[in-house]
Every structure is written in C-alpha cells, then in structure tokens.
Amino acid sequence: MSDMNLGITERLEPILDAVRTMVRDEILPLDAEFLAEVGKGDRWSYTPRQEEILEGLKKEARKRGLWNFWLTDSDRGYGLSTVEYAYLAEEMGKAQLGAEVFNCSAPDTGNMEVLERYASDVQKQQWLEPLLDGKIRSAYLMTEPDVASSDATNIAMRCVRDGESYVLNGEKWWSSGAGDPRCAIYIVMVRTGDDEAPKHQQHSMVLVPADTPGIEKIRAMEVYGHDDAPHGHLHLRFTDVRIPVDHLILGEGRGFEIAQGRLGPGRIHHCMRAIGQAEYALEMMCRRALRREAFGKPLAHLGANYDIIAECRMDIEMARLLCLKAAWMMDQGDARAAAPWISQIKVIAPQVALRVTDEAVQMHGGQGVSQDTPLARAWTGLRTLRLADGPDAVHRRQVARNELRKYTQERV
C-alpha cells in the first residue's frame, strides 16, 4: 500500500482556495434569496430570479474552470483523487447551492459516474454530455413503496422485453430531483430476470427519458413537511412505459454490478458535504454564542456551552479523518476493500453533522428552527441522509460482516 497522504496537495491548494472564496463570497450570500423565491409562482419551476442566480453562478464557476471536480481519476477535467475531491466537496457542502454551481451535485454525479463507466457511446452522447455541461439534470429511481428497498434485491418494478422494446410497470418513490423541470433522464433499477436467476443477477438498470408516455407523477413526498420544490422527491407510477432495448445499461442482470459502482462514490460525496455543513453550523454556533448575551454574559460562557462547542469540534475532526481515510481507500482501486470504510463514514458523517447542527439550532433559540437561518433545513437534510443511500443499520451490517470475516473462513 502506498503512503497514506490525506493532506492538501500542492495542485489542490489554488483550486481549494478558489472554491472556498467563491462559496463564501458569492454563493452563500445568495442562498437565502434563492430559497425565498420558491413558491413565487409555480413551486415546480424556477422563477426568473432563481434562474438568474443559479445560471449566473454556474457560468462564473465554469469560466474560472471550477467545474466537474467529481470526475476523479479521469482524463477529463482535473483528474483529482478522491481525497482531493473530499476537501472541495466539504467547501461546497457549506452552501445550499454550492454543489450545483460547480456541477457536482447529487444525484447527478452518481448518475454521471454510471454513464461514464458503463454506458455505450451513444448513451454517453445523448445523456452524459448534457449532464457534464450542466444543461439537464437527472434522477436515480431505485426505491419502491411496496418493498423494503434497503435490501435492493427486493426491487420489483417489472421490465419485460417485447420485440425491440422493454415495457416497465410499477411504482418508485423518493425519486430525488425528478420534480426539477430540467430533469430529463431517469436511471431506473428494474427486475428483468426471473426468480430462478441468482439473486444478484435478476436486476438491470435502464435509461428512461423523463417525458416517456406512461409515467405519472403521483405526488411529491414531504420531508418533515417540506416538499423540497422544485427539486422534489417524487412518487412515480409507470404504466406500460416503453423504451427501446438500447436504453439498457451494460446488460441484462447487471444492475447490482452498476449499483456498486454508483453508490460508492455517491455515498462518500454526501459524507464530505455533510462535514462541510457541520463545519458551517459550528461556525454559526460560535459566532452567535459570542454575539448574543443572556444573564449578563455571552451565551458561550453559560452552562455547558464550552463543552458543547468542544465536543462538536472533536466530532467533526474525527469524522473528517475517517472520511479522508475512506476516500484514500477508494483511491487504492480496490472497491471491495474500500466498501466497509465507505459504510463506516456513511454512518458517522450524517450522525456527527446532525448532532452539530442540532446544537447550533439550540444555540440560535427560536430562530434556529425558523426559515431565518439555513440550520433547520440542513437538519432535515442530514436526518434523511441517515436513510438515503442505505440506512445506518445496513451500513453497520456491512462493517460488522467485514469485521467478523477476519475470524472465520465461512461467509457471514
């Protein structure tokens, strides 16, 4: 194994500085205004001001060459390592619009990874290119209402070949980003095999253009009462949705192979951004604790607030180091060896970020749960991150199985 260098490399330094400066000086000041525009008109489209903000920032980022950093270990773009990308993702995580401005947002990065690694040239031309350009957006449809989707072998949406087409029937929910009017393509996990096939070869991934007839947008799922418009997490029904057979990715029965490739990087990107959110929440907490007074003293000096601030700092440092180690493991090119590390950080990062954000909410009093700071919204996002891309329990299972495997020859 190579030396474990988790530091900021020389080539990363100027890029990190540029991203950090743009997030702090140009993106964060516009975040609140962007969010306040939601619902001025149709909730499920962007207002002219939102378009102006978002497209203006994207254009600026691109002009400065700050674009598609997530393309790690690739000839395109910077070809950064996952460790290097972690530092950038942390900065982007501090602002609501951060990741999208640099074309590094979920679920697109995971979907672009799938297309980059597994799609045919024609599929890449049609869908990867506009995604890389930030012209369209995408959604990843795996979870279904009627089955326990944390075990993906349960996925039931039928996909049956009929001549030169596949025909899809079933429901998906929690399809993040499917509400966005720019969302043009879905990557859909479907069941193509019969029950006789090995468990991990019964599923496939297919590309379904969002405007294909037979797709019904039933409703937007709410997260603690918020519909997250216009991005949205949609509940969709597919009735005889017909796609050409060349919309299959990689091959029939290879859905799990692709899912492994998709979910590894996607999961760790979420964790990196969560650490950025925690860092920003701690900054807000400290500023507020020094600025506001009660009982004759700044809040910082009251009760257990020193301890709270110290615990938050220590938790963040631990989570960041674990995240960097998981990123480093990914950079070693052995996905199987990296998997338990990704699972560890997938449990730890959302929990740490949630705890820190919760303390920051508390330090802000009533304002903390209101729309006046980004904290309440961040809290709900982080809470759901303990479910999305695999609930905590599923990742703990992966960590424990890996641990036990060291002591037995048998499969555990």
Q: What residue ranges bind ligand FAD (CB under 6 A)?
A: 107, 140-143, 148-150, 174-176, 223, 233, 384, 387-391, 393-394, 397
Nearer to ligand FAD, 94 or 233 (CB): 233
Nearer to ligand FAD, 142 or 272 (CB): 142
Q: Which helix (H) or strand (E) holds 186?
A: strand 183-191
Q: Is 357 in contact with 379 (CB distance < 8 Å)?
A: yes
Q: Is 136 in contact with 130 (CB distance < 8 Å)?
A: yes
Nearer to ligand FAD, 139 or 352 (CB): 139
Give me the least distance between CB of 274 and ligand FAD, in Å please: 13
Nearest to 90 by CA among 363, 260, 279: 279
Nearer to ligand FAD, 12 or 374 (CB): 374
Compute the distance between CA of residue 357 and CA of residue 363 in angstroms, rounded to an integer: 10
Q: Which long-range contacts (CB under 8 A, 24 or more apart) does 95-100 make?
A: 95/23, 95/27, 95/28, 95/31, 96/31, 96/34, 96/35, 96/374, 96/377, 97/27, 97/30, 97/31, 97/34, 97/53, 97/54, 97/57, 98/23, 98/27, 98/273, 98/276, 99/273, 100/54, 100/58
Nearer to ligand FAD, 138 or 305 (CB): 138
Nearer to ligand FAD, 236 or 324 (CB): 236
Compute the distance between CA of residue 129 and CA of residue 115 in angstroms, rounded to an integer: 10
> How many Cβ atoms sit within 10 Å of the Cβ of residue 68?
20
Give me the least distance between CB of 106 and ligand FAD, in Å please: 8
Compute the distance between CA of residue 169 and CA of residue 206 in angstroms, rounded to an integer: 13
Compute the distance between CA of residue 155 and CA of residue 147 in angstroms, rounded to an integer: 7
Compute the distance between CA of residue 407 and CA of residue 400 in angstroms, rounded to an integer: 12
Compute the distance between CA of residue 346 and CA of residue 163 in angstroms, rounded to an integer: 42
Give me the least distance between CB of 403 and ligand FAD, in Å please: 15
Nearer to ligand FAD, 171 or 389 (CB): 389
- For 226, which DSSP code? B
Give me the least distance between CB of 343 and ligand FAD, in Å please: 12
Give me the least distance between CB of 283 and ligand FAD, in Å please: 25
Helix (H, G, I), strand (E, B) or coil at 140: strand
Nearer to ligand FAD, 101 or 155 (CB): 155
Give me the least distance between CB of 43 and ligand FAD, in Å please: 17
Give me the least distance between CB of 375 and ligand FAD, in Å please: 18
Nearer to ligand FAD, 313 or 397 (CB): 397
Give me the least distance between CB of 138 and ligand FAD, in Å please: 10
Bridging pattern class, strands 137-141 and 183-191: parallel
Give me the least distance between CB of 240 and ligand FAD, in Å please: 22
